Amino acid sequence: MATQDIFNAVVAFDEAGVKEKTQAELDAGTDVESILNDGLISAMDHVGEKFSSGELFVPEMLMAAQAMKGGLEILKPLLASSQSSSKGTVVIGTVKGDLHDIGKNLVAMMMEGAGFDVVDLGVDVDSEAFVKAASDNNANVLALSALLTTTMPAMETTIKALRDAGVSIKTIIGGAPVTQAFADQIGADGYSADAPGAVKLVKQLVA
Ligand code: B12
């Protein structure tokens, strides 16, 4: 099975190999969904499981995600035209006052890898911008990241702003200082401590 070669290249953090094998597979006539699901996404699921069990760490997850992105770049135009692959839309960003984006980027990459459309608003995003993007994109989930205890209150402000604006959307939060208890306290729909967990959470919320 040649999609196994793509899987193996992602797991080996070999971005050039992923690109080359993805293109070769397309040229050979393999359908886009098989390349995405059996090659790229299953490899990221595998990496996520290894991370959860403590066999791989954040740098390896980032390298795998980067390698996978190489394949996604090649598939993206074809996926956009088929329109059947999107599992939903996620708006993501780091909250107002906070410039940390490594974890947020990792969550965004893994969401893309899992087949979601991701609208990444970047860092230092105020609640008005989150509300506008959630509404404009008719998004299913809003994902908020914060790495500073001083910026965590901006998550609550954003969730309140969504309610006040009457935008119906699931909210998830994360980042090193964030906890499930805090998520419960501010009325977020979900919390995860890591990127693979964030993907699982979103899959449950949009199911
Ligand atoms: C790298 C870093 C920086 C870099 C950020 C670069 C960048 N482009 O992101 C720079 C140097 C810019 C920086 C600046 C500052 N930092 Co800093 N920084 C860090 C550091 C060392 C690593 C963060 C990181 O990237 N971790 C790796 C990623 C992969 O992990 P992660 O972000 O936690 O993300 C994972 C999960 O949390 C989760 N996740 C993340 N987001 C989301 C979102 C959702 C929805 C979900 C479900 C899950 C999820 O999934 C991710 C992947 O598994 C941390 C220490 C630490 N160990 O956390 C301090 C740390 C966060 N920084 C800290 C501080 C104090 C600052 C500064 C105030 C320092 C200063 N005096 O200027 C400034 C603030 C700037 C600002 N306004 O934001 C403190 C925060 C203390 C606190 N409790 O508030 C920390 C904890 C360091 C410390 N021990 O004191 N920092």
Q: Could you give all domains of the chain from N- to C-terminal order, each with its CATH number? A: 3-82 (1.10.1240.10), 89-206 (3.40.50.280)
Which protein residue has the closest C-alpha to ligand 1 atom 19? 100
Q: Is the pLDDT of residue 82 over 60?
A: no
Q: Label the pairing between strands 190-191 and 170-174.
A: parallel
- Top pLDDT among 70 and 80 is at 70
Distance 42 CA to ligand 1 centre (A): 28
pLDDT of residue 122: 98
pLDDT tier, 8 (very low <50, low <70, confident <90, very high otherwise): very high
Q: Is the pLDDT of residue 34 over 60?
A: yes
Q: Which 3 state secondary structure label does DSSP give 204? A: helix
What whole-number distance in Å separates Cα of residue 7 and Cα of residue 51? Answer: 16
Ligand 1 pocket test, candidate residues 110, 147, 179, most atoms within 8 A of CB: 147
E strands of the chain, at which residues? 89-94, 117-120, 141-145, 170-174, 190-191
How does pLDDT run across 51-67, given as a tens digit for each residue?
889 999 989 988 998 89
Distance 176 CA to ligand 1 centre (A): 7
Report, as an integer, the average pLDDT of 195-204. 92
Interacting residues of 62 by C-beta distance below 8 A, sequence separation 6+: 102, 106
Q: Is the pLDDT of residue 112 over 60?
A: yes
Q: What is the chain's mean pLDDT, rounded?
A: 92
pLDDT of residue 83: 46
Which protein residue has the closest C-alpha to ligand 1 atom 17? 100
pLDDT tier, 86 (very low <50, low <70, confident <90, very high otherwise): confident
Which protein residue has the closest C-alpha to ligand 1 atom 82? 148
Which protein residue has the closest C-alpha to ligand 1 atom 61? 147
Ligand 1 pocket test, candidate residues 100, 106, 192, 199, most atoms within 8 A of CB: 100
pLDDT of residue 61: 85
Distance 99 CA to ligand 1 centre (A): 8
